Structures are given as structure tokens and as C-alpha cells.
A and B are shown apart, each in its own frame.
Chain A
Amino acid sequence: MAEFRAYAALLGGRLRSATAYRASFAVEIITNAGGTAIDVSTVFVLFTATRLLGGFTLGEALMMTGLTAAGFALADLTVGNIDQLKTYVRLGTLDAVLVRPLAVLPQLVIADLPLRKLLRSGVGLAVLIVAVASNDIVWTPARVALLVTAPLSGAVFFGSIFVLSASLAFWWVESGEVGSAFTYGGRDFTSYPISVYGGWFRAVFAYGLGFAFVSYHPALTLLGRADPLGLPAWSGYVSPLVALAAAGLAGVVWRIGVRRYRSTGS
């Protein structure tokens, strides 16, 4: 509890720091919101060329896009800047974080909280709402629960991917943008029905890494559609478990990584 208050105080400090440069903060927050709008509009552009995408209509595909947009935006807003870790590792500035009586990950998350992405999560949520409105969903209590948990699970899953790919820096300081292949690449992958992807690529990304459970399966379960790839109808409800497994793995890798931290001479 005392730790929670410490984090709350740090969050307050972060908010005051961000508003120290008001004009640039305002500009950033608006340009960032534009980014998400453009991401989503690519789905509409695709449907001007075809009526069905991987066997799904625009409305159905939009459900997947919406779940991804909301989940990713939330993850990006919270831990999206964790990839700054490679800078801290390279410069050795993680030292200052390690000598404080708090866990390393939450400290970094708060210190780098990308508040400029605030509007972005609003846009993500709006896409999800539009997607829900444009489909005739037969509402059951389970589906209502799924609609709430699916974006949250997606956020936890993407957050874990952010942490995992940032942890690369502990082993490989010049990891550069390799992690982005999984974070931003994962977002793009899950914005479309995975049935559009082929063979081994789909197998690895969707089921090997678990991206299928971010938006594809929850969307199918919400819509009550059978999976053209053959998984049972309830597979959408598995997404929180997949998210928790990813979070557990990310936590373990992160801890091992922190132990490997080498600092720099000073």
C-alpha cells in the first residue's frame, strides 16, 4: 500500500514534468491522435478494393481492428516508451533507478509515460465502439464480459510484448528497432483477420506467439461466427489466459535481464 502511494506520487511528478513544456505537449498529443486515425483508415482503404477480407465483411474485420486499436493504444499509453530502456542500458543511467526502494519496471514506466499518446487511446476506443455498433451482436452476459476483458487482455498482451522486446537490450545493447517488429508488427498483424495470412507465417505469429488471441478469436466469439481455421467457438474466452501467460514470461525475462545489467564506467 505504501508502495502504491509512492507510485502515485511519481505519477503526479510525471504529469507535472510533462506540462512543464506546454506548447510542445499540446502539439505532440494532437499529431499522435492523427497517427491512429491513419492506421485504422488503411482497413477502409482495403475494403474499397475487395468486399471480403479473409472471408470477413468490413464490419466483422472492423471488430478485429477495433479490439486491436483499443488494446494496443492502452498498452502504448502505459508501457509504450519502455523501449527507451536501450538508451538507459547504453548510457548506464539505470543505476539511478536501481538504487531506489521500488521495482524497476514500474519506475521506468512512470518516468517515461508517453502522455502525448493520451488522445490516441481515445481514438482506439472510438474505433471499437464503431465496430460494435456496426455489427448485430447477440448480447449475452459472457459476451459483455468478453467485450470488456478482450481489449484489456490485448493491452496486457501488447504490454508484455513491449517489455519482452525492450528486454532485448539487456543482452544486446544495439538491439535498435528489432523489437518494433513484434510490437508495431504485432499491431498491424492483428488489425486484420488472420485468415488472410498464409502458412508458416500465420502459424508462428498467430499461435506460436499468441497474437491470434488479441483480436481474431475474441472478435469471432463476440460475433458468434465459426472459425474458418477450425478452432472451437469459445476460443475467444482464452485471451485473458494467453495475456497472463505472456505477462508472466515478460516478468521472468525482465528480471533475468536486470540481473545482467552491466552499467557503464563513471
Chain B
Amino acid sequence: MIEMKNLRKDFPVRVKAGRFRREKRVLTAVDGVSLSIAAGEMVGYIGPNGAGKSTTLKMLTGVLAPSAGEVSVCGLSPVAQRTRLALRIGVVFGQRSQLWWDLPLRESFRLLKHVYRVPAAEHETRLRRCRELLDLDAFMETPVRQLSLGQRMRGELTAALLHGPEVLFLDEPTIGLDVVSKQAVRSFLGELGRGGDVTLVLTTHDLADIERLCKRLVVIDHGRVVHDGTIEDLHSRYGSRRRLVADLDSPLPPGFALPGAVLSTVEADGHRVTFTLESIAAGAAVAALVNAASVRDLSVIEPDIEDVVARLYRCSITSTAQDGSSAS
């Protein structure tokens, strides 16, 4: 459905070099990205600010012309066949509205029906489904400029789906939303993805979006793909482990060890211990601990994806710094 081969985007920039002189430099936003996304996949595209996420999305949607490499979406070349592609994809830019600012939301949808030449019956069916799932009825008659951000984003999602796109691109769809709106957007996208007839590519800074929605996670940094796989792959590759935290009546007997786990912290005079589970199942670890000590309270903590990603970003920054020094 989506193919990228050595995709690259350079931006020439002029930087001040002295009082009047300007120097030309080239900023590479996307540096040889190759990815292949199959129909029906849900892919999360993450990376720190300036990593090249949005630039990639803009090349996939025909907004930006690539500097080098190949890209095809739905078998079309995005820039050369922009208008044909536009009929088959939906795009939500979290910070760019697709709606008509001064008109009621309903009017925006009606105009989009004409823009995308959608048969009336299809338009009606899709709009009804979005109205139900996204709870739009309360503000269909409100001018878009008066909508709250959460309401507007629900409107944007509907706007992107009314022509029944094969691929939906979402650039930070949950940015700035409150918890409830975020959840509404996520569960809607989850519902959409489960249908399996829409391919979904989303960029985000909120990793909860990815955990809920995307089996596949692509991490990009400095314009390069640094990880492509499932969230579990990411955890095993970067050694994130589940942790077992236990509150004890009395400190552990001296010399106590859990095979396959490491005692990572001891707090509150030995009354709270944390084990990092390396090669032991959580159930077995709990059983062994309960046998050895009197446990008052106990919890198993899932590895935190935020931590992993933060570590990943730091790793790639230092490795690029090393690349830089070895090159010079």
C-alpha cells in the first residue's frame, strides 16, 4: 500500500555567517528512509521533534516533493498524481484545519461531499457512523471557529473519512487534547483499524496512542529509521523488563535470591523491595516471594514505553554525535 525506498528530503537553508554574509547549508530532514506498509496495517511513527516524521508524511501525501528516492502510495506517485491520490487517502494534520472556519460543521461536511465527489448515499452512511461514534450531534450546527479543540478534532477526523479513504494519515491527532477527548479519538481509531479496510499511519508524541492502536512501531531520528517492529520487539531489544514491587512485614531474610530476577532497590528499611524480572515469569516470581517472606502488598509493573523511547532517543543522539566526530 505504501512503499518508500531511500526516501530523502533536503532543505537548503541560509544561515547567518557574519554581519552581512549568509551561508548556504543543506538540512537533511529525511535521510534515506525505506519502509513498506501493507494494506490494513496500523503503524505508529514516532521520533523526537525535528526527527523528520511530519516531513515523511508530507512526502507521502503529495505536499512535499522528495529530494531523492522513491515513494508510492496506493500505487500512485504522490506529487505527480496528487489529485488522484487525494481521492484515495485521508489526512488529518493536528495543527492544520481542513474545515471551513466560519461555517457550521455540517456545512464543511457538505462541501467535502462535493470536493471529493462522494455519492449522496455513501456520504450519508459514513457521516451517520461518524456522528454516532464521535458524538458530533451536539455541535453539528456550530461554526468551526467556536468549537473546542476536542470537538474540532472529532470534526477533522470525520472530514478525513467521508470519502472512504484507503489510507488515513494522522499527524499528531491527539496533540493538545484533554484525557477524555484523547480517549474518544483513540477508541474511534481503534474501531476503524479493527475493520481492517483502512491502512493507518500516525505520528505522535503520546506513546499511549501507539500502545493502544499500533502493532507496528517505527522510530525515526535524525531522518533515519532507528527501529521498526512491534512494541514487544522494542522492549526486548532495549532490555526493558517487568518489575515486581512488594511491601513486606519484615525485611527479606539475608541471602534471599529470586532465580531469574535481580533485586534492584530496597526501600523503607527493607520493607519495600523491587525485583527486575529477567528470565522468570511474573507468576513464578510472585509464588517464590510469597513463600520466602510475609508479603503485605504486591504489584507487577509493566515496562514503561516512555522510558524505552527516551533511552532510544538518547542512544541515537550519542551515536550520531560519534558519527559526526569520526567523520570530521
Q: Do A and B interact?
A: yes
Residues of A within 8 A of B (CB): 2, 5-6, 8-10, 12-13, 16-17, 20-21, 92-96, 98-103, 259-263, 265-266
| B61 near A259: Cβ-Cβ < 8 Å | no
A98 to B63, CA, bound (A): 6
Cα A265 to Cα B172 in complex, Å, equals: 12
B318 contacts the other chain (CB 8 A): no
User: Is B202's beta carbon under 8 Å from chain A?
Assistant: no
B111:A13 contact, CB within 8 angstroms: yes
**Using Cβ atoms and an 8 Å threshold, which residues of chain B touch A260?**
65
Measured between beta carbons, the chain A residues less than 8 angstroms from B91 are 99
Chain B interface residue bracket vs A: 35 or more
**What number of A-B contacts does a CB cutoff of 8 Å give?**
87
Asked if A5 and B82 sit within 8 Å, CB to CB, the answer is: no
Bound Cα distance from A12 to B103, whole angstroms? 11
Task: List the 6 shortest-distance A-B pairs measured between CB atoms, nearest first.
Answer: A9-B114, A101-B86, A17-B102, A20-B102, A99-B91, A98-B63
Q: B117 touches which one: A6, A10, A96, A98 (CB < 8 A)?
A: A6
Given the interface pairs A16-B103, A16-B107, A101-B86, the reply to whether A266 lies near B114 with Cβ below 8 Å is: no
Task: Point out residues on B near A: beta carbons under 8 Å.
Answer: 11, 49-50, 54-55, 58, 61-65, 79, 82-84, 86-87, 89, 91, 93-98, 100-103, 107, 110-111, 114-117, 143, 171-172
Of the candidates B61, B100, B101, B102, the one whose C-beta lies within 8 Å of that of A99 is B61
Q: Which residues of A contact B172 (CB under 8 A)?
A: 266
Residue numbers in A under 8 Å from B101 (CB-CB): 17
Q: Are A96 and B93 in contact (CB under 8 A)?
A: yes
Residue in chain A with minimal CB distance to B99: A96
- The distance from the CB of B27 to the nearest CB of chain A, in whole angstroms, is 11
Complex Cα distance, B89 from A101, in Å, reads: 10
Given contacts A6-B115, A102-B83, contact A13 B96 (CB under 8 A): no
Complex A-B: 14 CB contacts under 8 Å: A9-B111, A10-B115, A13-B103, A17-B102, A20-B143, A21-B102, A96-B96, A96-B97, A98-B62, A98-B63, A99-B86, A101-B83, A101-B87, A263-B63
Task: Please state if B96 and A101 are interface contacts (CB–CB under 8 Å).
Answer: no
Complex contact B63–A20 (CB within 8 A): no
17 more A-B residue pairs beyond the given contacts A17-B100, A266-B96, with a C-beta to C-beta distance below 8 A: A6-B114, A6-B115, A12-B111, A13-B111, A17-B101, A20-B102, A93-B96, A96-B93, A99-B61, A99-B91, A101-B87, A102-B83, A260-B65, A261-B64, A263-B63, A263-B64, A266-B172
